[in-house]
Structure 1
Amino acid sequence: MSPALPDGDAAPDDGALPGSVAAGAAERAFGLYVHVPFCTVRCGYCDFNTYTASELGGGANQDAYADTALREIRLAAGVMERAGLPARPLSTVFVGGGTPTVLPPGDLARMLDGARSAWGLAPDAEVTTEANPDSVTPASLAELAAAGFTRVSFGMQSAQPHVLATLERTHDPLRIPDVVRWAKDAGLAVSLDLIYGTPGESVDDWRASLKAVLATGVDHVSAYALVVEQGTKMAVQVRRGELALPTEEDQAIKYEIADDLLTAGGLHWYEVSNWSRTPEQACRHNLAYWRGDDWWGIGPGAHSHVGGAPDGGLRWWNVKHPRAYAGRLEAGRSPAAGRETLDAATAQLERVMLGVRLSGGLPLDRLSERARREVAALVADGLLDGRAALGADGGERRVLLTLRGRLLADAVVRALTD
């Protein structure tokens, strides 16, 4: 079961945006997110807005989905033009899900072509699709690269069969080196996603997964602690005592192991849960979220954000169910379910929450006067880098997490924003 949509104001049927969103837009990058809400099976821990093929029919099914998404792309281009937003080529495109690669490569290519026709692609645009290791072939990856995709992010999660079984992942872990090689042969950059803290995963299991990742030679890794969301099958299993969650200490040890091994393997953290071999190989699309750029989210349940200073911009979200999403677009209506105008204070709060998590840190002058008074205590507690806070290297004074601070990033953010 996916989480409920946020509360907000009603969105107009035509999707019209206020003219205020155009202020400063020329200085902001523009990206596109495309949500593909289909999976072959639903994993027990997942609370994303996803559906299996047997659950849907009509204009909401997999066969019709590319055409439905293209309707929203055309609507989005018109809405942005009427709002006075300047013409900006897409700097990033990210196709996520779900499992986008359950769609034929030709459908993913058509959606990318539609985005290219609507806005254009920057010459160095980053174009990513997520994929499961068992949802691609050498031929499908080559077709995606030929269509303009530059990057693929595989949901590996673990190298251990029993951990994958607990997560209800269907791929064979022995396939990982093959899919990485196929993607590289096609000219695609490759990221691998991992989850740590699955019930029953030992420290040795986690080390083995990290070593398997490093053996592939990928240039980007994401590692996320498992969060068991209410409403999921795994939450029921935990409640019944069928699965035991790891301790916070176990999670912390596994994060430290990840940072140690990935750093030794030549990858460096740039966001609390993400490591890349060079700054250029960081995921630019996700950085755009964390830096507050503009993006339009295509698909059921997708979120969008346009606008910035002097106000906080506008955020909106689409109806969740693919059938409702398709129905609105077929009727010529915007699929937006609600929207929220962000005031300057809310936007500032979010800038701090997200900016603190980046390896570049956050300029101290971005904090409120009260928050700046908290910095010395956080340095004393070993959560913030003292030299960065003092500007000891001759640069501006910055809030920069230590390794311990990364483990307690939420507590640091609370101290700087409460």
Structure 2
Amino acid sequence: MDVSTTPLIDRSLSAFARGYTWLPGLLGGRSGGVARTRVLGKPALVVRGPEAVRFFYDERNVRRSGALPGPVLSTLFGHDAVHTLDGDAHRARKEFFLPLLDPGRIAGLVEHVSAAWDDAAREWSKQGRVVLFDAASVVLTRGVCDWAGIRLDGDSAVAELARDLVAMVDGFATAGPRHFRARRARSRQEQDFTRLVEDVRAGRATAPQGSVLAAVCAHRESTGELLHPHTAAVELLNVIRPTVAISWFVAYAAHALHLHLTPRRRDRLRDGDIPYAAAFAHEVRRFYPFAPYLGGLAVRDLSWRDVAVPAGAMVLLDVFGQNHDDALWGDPHVFRPERFLEHPVERDELIPQGGGEPRTGHRCPGEGLTIGLLEALAMRLADLEYTVPDQDLKISLHRIPARVRSGFAVEQVRVTGAT
């Protein structure tokens, strides 16, 4: 293959400065676009579109091992996490996560989180102002830990863990105070969860039978050896942390209910219209910014649509750009859940949590948990009555991860029928 040697300007600073708009700016409005650039000293191939998703997730083309920068591993995923593996090692480690795809497991988590939400909502009705982003993080932490078999000692322990889990997500893609808070949070929780794994294995603590905690403590690598206690802690956090990251989507859901949904459409959620709740959850995940892009390394000299890069180059999948591609969505900058009632979700079209096959590839196995929880919490959110005080509801596309600036504050909360 003829690999281009045209000099490229390193665009690493543009990635930090432009955030979610960086890769869409490089690709322009072209559906299925492709471009070359340079990032972190490496040549990079930038791709977008369903066919590009299949190209990106083909292990003959792109590997994840060695692709994730150290600062991301030290904050978001953890070192030696499943996200860093490929091939047989990746498939063996992923066996731990595959039960999360089971509908019964999803229903169990939804039940635990819904109960935590209902308890919290009654308390919110006694408070003056509630910031939904912060409140949701505590609800999700309590619910997922109950479901996973992790006992937390009182409300302060739940709140502390929630703060650390949010910090891990909030600081992975930035420099400065947010990043160092994320590093400290991960270090603190990895130590605590490592001790928990060691205590369970030594019989000093109990993991409920069939729980996520019991599964990670018993899981064996492709070599047949038990996971190292620290690695087990990392993977346990990789179940808990993404669940608590749904706080971003809860705040986005409130933002959508307030600014984009008519009362009639909100009533569909309030009345328990399950298909509409599923469509609403998909549209929140498509419309609002979360993952900007995903990266891997070229296994060999690659060419995509006549644009070539050498082996070892970066390959970047434009997640945000694809979720706002006019050719795929028609009116991508309009919040319209009905699009997912008119057209079934295609695996490699909607990729807010990655693409490909979740059972064998790198697509997030917790995506089903995210959808199930967002459906349930969106219906509960629609069923709450509250006022929305003046606040800053802007969402900056230059901040990664983006979030509703105010966290979406509500006042005069009143619980109605469903909760």
TM-score w.r.t. length of structure 2:
0.22
Higher strand fraction (1 or 2) = 1
Question: RCO greater where, 1 or 2, for CA within 8 Å and sep 6 or more?
Answer: 2
TM-score, L = length of structure 1: 0.22
